[in-house]
Amino acid sequence: MAHPTPPPGNGHPAQLLTLATLAGGKKNIPSPGAFTPETGWLQGALESLERQTRMGSFLWHIPTNMVDLTPQSLRLFGLPPQYRQVPFSQYLSQVYLPDQARVLDTIHQVIASKVPLKLVHRIVMPGGAIKTILLRGEVALDHQGKTLGLSGIIQDAEEWLRTEGKLKLWEKAFQSCKEGILVTDARSIILDVNTAFLWITGYTREEALGKNPSFMKSGLHDKDFYRRMWQSIQTHDGWSGEIWDRKKNGEVFPKWINIQAIRDITGEVSNYIAVFSDLSKAREAEKQLMFLSQFDQLTKLPNRALFMERLRDAIRRVGDSQKMAAVLAVDLDDFKEVTEVMGHDTGDAVLMEAAKRVQAVVGDKGLVSRPGGDEFLVLLEDGVTVDSATGLAQKVIGELSRPVFLGGRDIQMGASAGIGMFPFDGEDESSLLSHADAALAQAKREGGGVFRLYAPELMNRVTQRKEQVALLRRALANQEFELHYQPKLDLKSKGITGMEVLVRWNNPEFGLIGPDQFIPLAEETGLIMPLGEWILSTACAQVESWRQGGMGSLRVAVNMSSRQFETLDPTDIVRRVLRETALPPEALELELTESVVMSNAKRNVATMNGFRRMGIHLSMDDFGTGYSSLSYLKKFPLNSLKIDKSFVTDIDSNPDDLAIAETIIAIGHTLNLKVVAEGVEKQEQLELLESKGCDSVQGYLVSHPLPPERFETWMADMNGKGWRVK
């Protein structure tokens, strides 16, 4: 349309003739001018409206093959005013050549079927640029119903295509979302649902559309619950919480739902959008994890953690009533020989039989636990005396001394027991249990097959503790502690993500002492505060030095004890250390144990949020050894979970440990957390963890904890082998 007449051969006269014939037009039809508004106020209003909407108009008069274009249409085509009325062939000449046949075919179909026109095609601007336009219109008829032409609007299609693309993208996201979504109108009538809604609830789209969401009510919530929910929606334009609904098959299930009110430009509610996730699997995982964390998988007896919790409760109860409680530590004699000669399967069968016999003797008089190995613990509380405790211990030993018939042969068992009495042998669960263990050790030294009561001369705990505290204070004053660093391996990239710092006591007399030998004492005495701050400061300074030296973007993980975490504001100490050492917050990871985090969950969430706002990463250490409520776990601002070494050691031979590891990995990924396994010492363990989706590992297979200079050498060696800092 850059010339008054089209280029030769571009007008397609045969096709234009066909269109004119199809329309049944005649040469004496009035000119196109009869179909356009006259100049004046109406013409001016139309032009103003077109400028505001950025839409032009067109009228194609088939009998004369003339096209009328309004000023806005001319602007869209980049043409001057004299092209306001042109032959159709002139219009077609500006259509991009590859689109011309499609344009004519579409117009043929519209004229023939008299359906509305919607056509997107490209045009060539006078300067040669290509533009995409959108035509919308309808067939123009005369008073006898005969086709005269087409009339409609022209608009720049770029913005329309972008909008339509976004709508398609949002529709795809809406349908692909794993959470169920429903959209209602202002009266709460469902207008649309996504695919996940259908999967979760079991309803079809037709069954849901047009209904109020209340048709899925479970009946477990009273009117007051829904009143508070709607009050929140009306006041705050939204509500989030847990709600129980009913699926199509009648199953009642929990879901976490977020409801948002959508307001129009007048401020009135036009729609409600609800997004929800099915919590059924998470609840099942929570129950499974609770069982796995509290019960022994072989015998189904309470494990050590649950036993200690029940013992603590019992001490509180009997202490208030000034009565006694007893702990029996029972151990099978010569069990190691059974497993070595007859194998682990036979050993497991013996342990299960032993558990049944101990339970049969104890009955409802106490609690039986298997903390691990071939040991059993018994808690006696109701009216227990020294005589009744020793009498029951004798019966247990007698029952366990009877042979076990397995595989066509008798297997001889035997047992020894130690007894600790509350309050004489300890006023808390730890001391009472340790004294029962001491009495058991004495029974073993005497040849086994007997029980012994705790005797004070077996362990002068007070004196020994004073000596240990003095040594620990001296170690702090003399700077006898040193830090070792154990790298973490990312299983996906095979890169080093950072390291965990571990403290060692370099005692002048005894050499290097592991943290399990002195950290509990430091916790009890409060010495963990200066020691913990020294560990944090030294580790941060060392890692910043490595970072500045070009070792890479390392992140150091530092354990934070319960005493440190429960100070008035632990974030102040960490902030000061980061400022003094210049280590970026994102290069520091604080590892918190499950028991520390859960000790005061509500308060600790606020503290952890303070660390996260600083940019510090947070990890829950030893996950699965205690009991974390998933309702709280999802609120903790964690970055990662660590699978405790106790679940990793036998992961390649113990299905229960593998099940625990898989569960922790699934829970972690469900909550968008990274999962790190510690204590990996064998290639088989690493490959199993990698196959189950574990993100990172640390342990002797990767590297032992190393002092700084050896860590530097190790890193250089690993970089030479193709590993890298992630």
Question: What's at 185, amino acid-wise?
Answer: D
- Does residue 461 register a pLDDT over 60? no
Nearest-angstrom CA–CA distance, 376 and 416: 10
How does pLDDT run across 595-631, given as a tens digit for each residue?
777 767 777 888 899 999 999 999 988 776 655 556 6
Domains 13-163 and 177-278 share a fold: yes
Query: Each residue of 67-95: pLDDT tens digit?
Result: 989 888 898 888 898 888 889 988 888 89
Cα separation, 539 vs 537, in Å, equals 6
pLDDT of residue 230: 93
- Name residues whose C-beta falls within 8 Å of residue 144's C-beta, 6 or more positions apart in sequence: none
Those residues whose C-beta lies under 8 Å from the C-beta of residue 722, and which sit 6 or more positions away, are none
Q: Output b/e per residue, 542-569; b: 16+ Cβ within 10 A.
A: bbbebbeeebbebbbbbbbbebbbeeee
Residue 199 CA, chain-centre distance (Å), reads 21
Instruction: Please tell me the distance from the alpha carbon of residue 17 to that of residue 232, in angstroms, as a whole number.
Output: 68
Tokens 């229960």 -> residue = 656
The CATH fold assigned to 13-163 is: Beta-Lactamase (3.30.450)
**Taking the CB of residue 119, how many other CB atoms lie within 10 A of it?**
17
Tokens of 89: 């062939």
pLDDT of residue 6: 34
Q: What is the mean pLDDT of residues 180-191?
A: 92
CA distance linking residue 519 with residue 481, whole number of Å: 12
Q: What is the pLDDT of residue 625?
A: 66
Say what the pLDDT of residue 642 is. Answer: 92
**pLDDT at residue 426 is higher than 90:** no
Which pLDDT score is estimated for 163?
A: 67
The candidate with the shortest Cα–Cα distance to 624, out of 608, 647, 601, is 647
* Kind plus residue range of the DSSP H or E element containing 396: helix 386-400
> What mean pLDDT do residues 152-174 have?
75
Q: Please indicate whether residue 486 or residue 14 has the higher confidence score (pLDDT).
A: 486
Q: Is the pLDDT assigned to residue 58 strictly greater than 70?
A: yes
- pLDDT confidence of 2, banded at 50, 70, 90? very low
Is residue 420 over pLDDT 50?
yes
What CATH homologous superfamily does 177-278 map to?
Answer: PAS domain (3.30.450.20)
Peptide bond into 403 cis (omega under 30): no
**79-93, 229-243, 462-476, 620-634 — which is least confidently predicted?**
620-634
DSSP for residue 30: P
Contact 574, 616 (CB under 8 A): yes
Phi and psi at residue 489, to the nearest 5°: -105, 125
Q: Say how far apart CA 138 and CA 370 lie, in whole Å.
A: 83
Looking at residue 94, its amino acid is Q
pLDDT at 41 over 60: no
pLDDT of residue 35: 40
Helix runs in 54-96, H state only: 71-77, 88-94
pLDDT, average across residues 469-496: 92
Provide the pLDDT confidence category of residue 260 given band limits of 50, 70 and 90.
very high
Q: E strands along 547-624, which residues?
A: 555-559, 588-593, 617-623
Whether domain 286-459 has CATH 3.30.70.270: yes
The more confident residue out of 21 and 241 is 241
Copy the structure tokens of residue 120: 């997107």
In contact, 578 and 541? CB cutoff 8 Å:
no
Question: 678 — phi, psi (to 5°)?
Answer: -110, 160
Name which of 496, 494, 473 is nearest 485 in CA terms. Answer: 496
Q: Which CATH number fits the domain 483-720, given the four candidates 3.40.50.1820, 3.30.70.260, 3.40.50.300, 3.20.20.450?
A: 3.20.20.450
Average predicted confidence (pLDDT) for the chain: 84
Q: Please tell me the least confidently modeled range out of 186-190, 218-222, 474-478, 562-566.
A: 562-566
Q: Give the angle 403-408-409 at the CA atoms, nearest 5°.
A: 35
Domain boundaries along the sequence of the chain: 13-163, 177-278, 286-459, 483-720
Gyration radius of the chain's alpha carbons: 40
pLDDT tops 60 at residue 550? yes
Residue 123 has pLDDT above 80, yes or no: yes
Helix, strand or coil, per DSSP, at residue 57: strand
Query: Given a cut of 50, is residue 171 above it in pLDDT?
Result: yes
Residue type, 258: N
SS3 217: strand
Greatest distance between any 2 Cα atoms in the chain? 128
| Higher local confidence (pLDDT), 36 or 661 | 661
Separation between Cα atoms, residue 192 and residue 209, nearest integer Å: 6
The token duo for 694 is 């574990």
Task: Return the percentage of the chain with pLDDT > 70, whole number.
Answer: 88
pLDDT at 489: 92
Tokens of 127: 């300067």
Work out whether the CA dihedral 576, 581, 587, 590 comes out positive or negative: negative
Residue 700 in this model has a pLDDT that exceeds 50 = yes
